[in-house]
Amino acid sequence: MAIVDWRTTPNVAINDPLLMAGMPPSLTAATGMDALTHAFEAYVSTAATPVTDACALKAIKLVSENLRAAVANGGDMAARDAMAYAEYLGGMAFNNASLGHVHAMAHQLGGFYNLPHGVCNAILLPAVERFNLIAKVDRFVDIAKAMGEPVAGLSKRAAAEKALDAIKTLSKDVGIPSGLKELNVKEQDLKTMAENAQKDACGVTNPRCPTLEDVVMIYKWAM
């Protein structure tokens, strides 16, 4: 369950990369992919603004350029510093533009199976955004460019799909499991989780409105 209230919101956040130096690679990968998901969902959100767009795209670029190095060497303070900025900018973006069905669906996986939130987001992100792509093709092209994908000479649709390829490559490089089956998610739970996901507040700003059957299908894509 997502709880949103000003009483649970801090006034100050201190993002010190020195405090992250001892974070193990798996946690670095999961939290980094969570930051990428925050920025990605904020950029394609129906509540996006020019301000959130600027934060989101910069966060996406920073994660793409620095997460691998931070996972490979936790003592790489330049990468840690860049990731701290990425996570902060992603937070600025999604706290103002909200999120989408990646988070709505990931919350259910966390609740049902006690799975790491960032890992769930990383696995679901390409599946959900495959569904969303037709609603925001131009924005997917922007994301592909921010993630360093070569899109020159490609059709708009092919360039947009490069964003999905970039997510999968980054996830694989930092050791994220390839699918939900690796996390022992059971197909018999998908419909119940989909029903709960449809009630999650994060789904309100998803760029495409999925039916219950769509959500079950997306979970299956991510298996």
Residues 81-135 have pLDDT tens digits of 999 999 999 999 999 999 999 999 999 999 999 999 999 999 999 999 999 999 9
Quick one: pLDDT at residue 33? 98
DSSP 8-state assignment for residue 150: -
Say whether pLDDT at 3 is over 80. no
Take residue 188 and report the two structure tokens written for it.
């018999």
Q: Which of 51, 133, 126 is nearest to 94 (CA)?
A: 51
Provide the residue type at 167 as one letter: I
Domains in the chain: ranges and CATH: 23-221 (1.20.1090.10)
Take residue 13 and report the two structure tokens written for it.
């956040």
Residues 124-168 have pLDDT tens digits of 999 999 999 999 999 999 999 999 999 999 999 999 999 999 999
Q: For residues 34 and 163, what is the distance between their CA atoms, to the nearest angstrom?
A: 16
| Range in 1-15, 115-129, 165-179, 193-207 with the lowest mean pLDDT | 1-15
Residues 64-83 have pLDDT tens digits of 999 999 999 999 999 999 99
